[in-house]
Every structure is written in C-alpha cells, then in structure tokens.
Chains A and B, each alone.
Chain A
Amino acid sequence: MADPREKMLEVDHIRVQFGKKRHPFVAVRDVSFDIYKGETFGLVGESGSGKTTIGRAIIRANPLAAGEIRFEGQRISGRLSAARDRQVTRDIQMIFQDPMSSLNERAKVGYIVAEGLYAPGRHCSEEERRQKVAKALSDVGLLPEFASRFPHEFSGGQRQRIGIARALILEPKLIVADEPISALDVSIRAQVLNLLAALQKERGLTYLFIAHDLSVVRFICDRIAVIHKGDIVELAESEQLFAHPLHPYTQALLSAIPQPDPIAERQKKLLVYDPSCHDYRVDKPVWTEVEPGHFVLGNQRELEGYRKMLTR
C-alpha cells in the first residue's frame, strides 16, 4: 500500500556505537523509522535504551557506524557541503534533555536564546533580535526581563523553557524534542504542549518527541515507537498502541503509567517484563507489520500469538 503522506525524515537501519573501535559499545543496534511531514512521532522506552543517541544522530552530533538518515529525501548523515550543512542545521533543531547542564552558564539568557540568529547567512538587526527573544520567552511562559539573567539563577523548569525558546526562535522544520517538558508543572506543560501544537498547525512543523511521561505522549503523538535496549520493539498509531499493546515490554510500560488519582494509583497492577521470555535461539525475531500501520518485533511463534490477540 503506497502511503500518500510525505516523508520528512527517514532513519534507515542506523547503528550508533561508542568507545574503542575494537570493543565498541553498541547503543543503537539497527533502528529504522520514518517521520511524516507535519506529524508528531513519539519515541518512548527504558532509560538508557538509546533515545537521546538517536536524537543526537539526527542532528548529526553522533556519527553513524552504519545506515543512513535522509531529510526531505536527501542524505544528511556523513559529510555535507558547507552550505548544505548550514541549511540542515537551521532546519533541524533539538531541545536537549537535561535542563541543568545543557545551557552555557557564562552567557546571559538573552544571548543563549538568540544564539542561532547570529549564524552566518542570517541577517537580523539588533532590534529585531531583541523582539524575537522577548516573543520566544513569553511564548514559553517566561518574562522578557529574564533575558538579562544567567542560567544558574533559574529553577529547573525555567531553564528547560529557555532551551525550548532557543530552539523555536530559529523556526526550524523538524524539532527533536528530548524530554522537553519533564521538569515543568502540569499547567506550564499544558501551555508548552499547546504552543507546540499551534506551531504545528501554523507552520507545518514536525516533531520527534522523546518522553517518559506516557500520558503526555499519548495526548500529543500521532504515532509512537517503543524502544528497548537499542531495538525498536513496537510501533503503531497512538490509540492503537494504547488499546492493543502487543510486545510484552510495551505492556509492562503501559501498566506502570502513574495515575493522578490516589485510589486508582494504589490499586494499580504492575506487569513486569522479563527479556528471557523470548526464545530467539532458533526462531529469530523479525520486524513485522501485523496489521496496517502496527509493527512489532517478534519471532514466528510470537507473531502468531500477537495476530490472535488482535482478532480477539
């Protein structure tokens, strides 16, 4: 079935490893997914499973050991010409995960937020810059006066929003948002989510949204990929994933979602994922589309079971 949607980003069998060439640590084994233009694609999974590593590979901060990444149909991994490099840097922005260590401590907030506007090829007057900074700050619920302060003078959530303002000000096409709202209270979280959704409507922005808070992911994402130890184990449209999680890791993850209701939360039944439940010695796992748009990693026996679960 040909998909009428336009692919914005294609992550094609990428592998990312760290450490010595001879004894590398493989953080991302063999990951593939496409993100369509104008969609919000969620990436969830265990801490340390490789989510940030994938995000950093997309902004070209982590080199690939294998595979390729394409943006708007053209390769962006590996060496690029200077002009192309500038263009891609402008089009793809990342909101970094850790608000406590991702900001330049010696620069004032105004400069941090405006930094990308100083890039070569950007013609921006001082006055224009000042206005853009003020707008970007108030968009994320901060006071424009904050521009003259230093990062360490802010709370965790305030710093996180400085990181968001910094990415939005450049008007990119694709934003890799790595835990962009983890340090925010629910109301500001709602405000930022509304802002991201409005920008998506206005400018057709596309997001790769990485987060641990699954109620947020469910609300904002069109499709969700679940990753475990460097492998994507399941991918589906959000509602489908929540209604029919197939892979045992997905099931464990969904069962653990905290519920903001004391009685329901205290009666919650946790499912525990034990990776040794898979017997992959002979029957090897394959990435399979078990129903339209719903992919899962499993061997033939497991896939048979998953298909049964869906017909029930």
Chain B
Amino acid sequence: METQQSEVLLSIRDLHFKFTLRGQVLHAIRGISLDVMRGESLAIVGESGSGKSVLVKTLMGLNDQNGFIESGQILYGGRDLATLHTDAEWQSIRGREIAMVLQDPMTSLNPLKTIGWQIREAVELHQNLHGEAARKAACEMLAEVGISDPERRYKQYPHEFSGGMRQRVVIAIAMACRPKILICDEPTTALDVTIQAQILGLIKEMQKKYDLTTIYITHDLGVVANVADRIAVMYAGDIVEIGRCEEVFYDPRHPYTWALLSSLPQLGVKGQPLYAIQGTPPNLFHEVKGDAFAPRNPQALKIDFVKRPPMLAVSPTHSARTWLLDPRAPKVEPPEHIRALRERGRALRQQGEVTSHG
C-alpha cells in the first residue's frame, strides 16, 4: 500500500477564516497550515463544530456569504485560491479540479431530473462530449460505480434509488468531472454498514484508477482506520495533531486526541457511563488564549492557559500542537487506554520488523 507521496498537490498556509454574525465575529479557522499530498487519502476528524466542513469548503469557495478569508493562502496549481471571489473565478476549480461528495445524497441531486440527465450534464461540461457519445459515457459511468442495468437506471429519478445507490450516483457525477481532489464530507454516515463498506471500496477503486487525491471528513474512526493514509485532528478551528494513520491511532500525542480515542463506545461497559470530555468547546466569538483544549484537560500545564503551543514534531511525518512535546515539559502519562494502544502499536511494529527481515 505504501506509495510515494512526496509531491505537494495543495498547500494551505496559515489560513484564517471568519464569519460575521449580527455585528459579532466568529473565528472559525484559526491559522491552519496543511499540505495535501498527491494521491494520498487524508482523513480529517475532530470535535463537532471545530471547522472541518468550513475548512474544506474554503477549497471550493462554498462557504456561506457571511464568511470570509481574513488571511492566508491556498496554493494549488500555481494559483492562490484564497484570492478567488466570484463564481466565475471559481468555475475552473469547482468540479473540474476539486469535487465534493456530501453526507446526504439528496441535497446534491435534483429530484426533478433523471439520474442519466444529471450525469450527462457533468460529462458534457467537463469531458467535452455531446449527443450519443455523452449519453454513452454517462451510462458507462453508472456501470463503473456499480449500478447494474445502467440503460434502464439512466431514465429513472433519484427517488427511485435507495440511499446507497444515490450516493453512488453522486460519486459518478463527481468523477465524471475527472477531478484531481475528491472531498468526502461524511460520505457514508447515512448508510448502513454493508453499503458503507461498498461505497468506501468504490472510492478506493476510483482513487487508484484516476490517480485521485481524497480528503475524508468523518466521525467514524472505523472508517478512518479503513481509508486514511494520514489523519489530521481538529479542535476549535485548528489542526492539533497530524500524522500517518498508524502514528495517530497507536501513538497519539495531543490530549484532545487521547480524549477522543478514549470515548469510543467499544471501550464502554454496559450500564456504566462512557468516558466523555468534560465541559464545552470554546466560544469562537471570543479570542482563544493558549491551548484551546486546556480548560477541558484535567492534566493541562500552566503554560497551556497562557501561550499557544507551536506544532512540534514527533517524527518527520507526525506532529502535534501541544507543550507536552517541548523538552522542558514535565512527563505526563496518557490515559490507560492510550497506553494500551501504544503497546499494541509497539507489538505490531516488532512483528512487522520480524516479517520484513525474515
């Protein structure tokens, strides 16, 4: 599975995004820097309301009218997407370069047009095909996303499709534009697990076939474990940890990541409360001071309340925004479950070394 992923395809640099709301200002993205590598599958996880959807929508200029980029750059294909404003300016990016699949396929489909018409429209616009050739390409696209009897299905309307089939159609439309980056914002939350597995398989297939880069947003850490090459963890408008999939799962370093991984229902004992993080996330109408997670972290250091920690490296591919990684920090033991995960990671690594040497 290891591929060479060294070419930066898209680079977000110190991005700040704000919403104005009846005279108040909400600081939704607070200085995020992120390189997306060509061909990789990046998963973004984190607190509800932490800015995951807002972040990916800035890549397509799809945020609500009351939002604006205050500063920062989004470098892609020699351009800075942060400087684009009008729909006309975005035209060459949306769909063509970067496409999006949302949680609820019904919001992306037009209920009044046939499935075939909707795919064909994308084909005509982006592949420069017309007439019978466009119709054929649309049918092929339907078959490619695993819909049987595409000739008949072509003439049907969205309400005649099941949820899983609709999501396949949305993927077919997105892929008909031949994008370089496919953003999936909770692509399978509305689907049962058997169909979810099929859709994830389908996206992976597309990724291989079309040299696609994917960005997943999901709350399902099982999905993340399945699809991600790298994981970015967000909290309160910031990326607090980023690393390769195994690094974040088996050796997490930020206290928020610890808390997140400790809240899984799989770890629960029936009849007893699950572990949950105390308190509420910060109000983003106010400036956040220090480490945004500190007020909810029982082991927070003094400095966490005063100064925002820098991104500190754990390995060349893994870093976290926490003072715990500073050489001057006292030793703080992670919770029990995280220590168990670390053990598991270590055992697996040793096993791997044995097999790769043997």
A-side residues, CB < 8 A to B, are: 44-49, 98, 100-101, 138, 141-143, 145, 149, 152-158, 161, 179, 182-191, 193-194, 197-198, 212-216, 218-220, 252-253, 256-266, 270, 272-273
Contact = CB atoms under 8 A, between A and B. Distances in A.
B279 to A, nearest CB: 9
Contact of A141 (B193, B265, B275, B280): B280
Interface string B184-204: 001001111111110000000
22 contacts: A46-B195, A48-B163, A149-B21, A156-B53, A183-B48, A185-B47, A186-B264, A187-B47, A188-B47, A188-B48, A189-B263, A190-B275, A198-B273, A213-B220, A213-B265, A219-B274, A220-B265, A256-B194, A256-B196, A256-B197, A263-B348, A266-B226
Nearest to B219: A185
A153 B265 contact: no
A49 to B, nearest CB: 8
Contacts of A265: 222, 225-226
B259 interface: yes
Given A143-B280, A265-B226, A258 B163 contact: no
A190 B221 contact: no
Instruction: From A154, A197, A214, A260, name the one whose CB has the most chain B CB atoms within 10 angstroms.
Output: A260
Interface of B: 19, 21, 45-49, 53, 64, 103-104, 107, 162-164, 186, 189-197, 219-226, 228, 245-246, 249, 259-261, 263-266, 268, 270, 273-277, 280, 283, 344, 348
Nearest to A182: B189
A47 B48 contact: no
B266 A47 contact: no
Nearest to A198: B273
A260 B283 contact: no
A186 B221 contact: yes
Given A189-B263, A258-B225, A263-B348, A48 B162 contact: yes
Contacts of A149: 21
A52 to B, nearest CB: 11
Contact of A47 (B19, B46, B191, B275): B191
Given A156-B53, A190-B274, A257 B222 contact: yes
Contacts of B222: 215, 257-260, 265
Contacts of A256: 193-194, 196-197
Given A157-B49, A158-B49, A262 B249 contact: yes
Contacts of B275: 190
B283 A143 contact: yes
B48 A270 contact: no
A215 B226 contact: no
B197 A191 contact: no
A272 B264 CA distance: 26
Given A98-B104, A212-B189, A218-B265, 8 more contacts: A46-B194, A143-B283, A186-B260, A187-B259, A191-B277, A212-B190, A253-B192, A258-B223
B216 to A, nearest CB: 12
Contacts of A158: 48-49
B139 to A, nearest CB: 24
B280 A260 contact: no
B53 A155 contact: yes
Contacts of A47: 162-164, 190-192, 195
Given A98-B104, A182-B190, A190-B276, A219 B260 contact: no
A43 B222 CA distance: 21
Given A143-B283, A183-B219, A153 B197 contact: no
B48 A215 contact: no
A284 B348 CA distance: 49
Contact of A156 (B21, B48, B162, B197): B48
Contacts of B191: 47, 212
B171 to A, nearest CB: 15
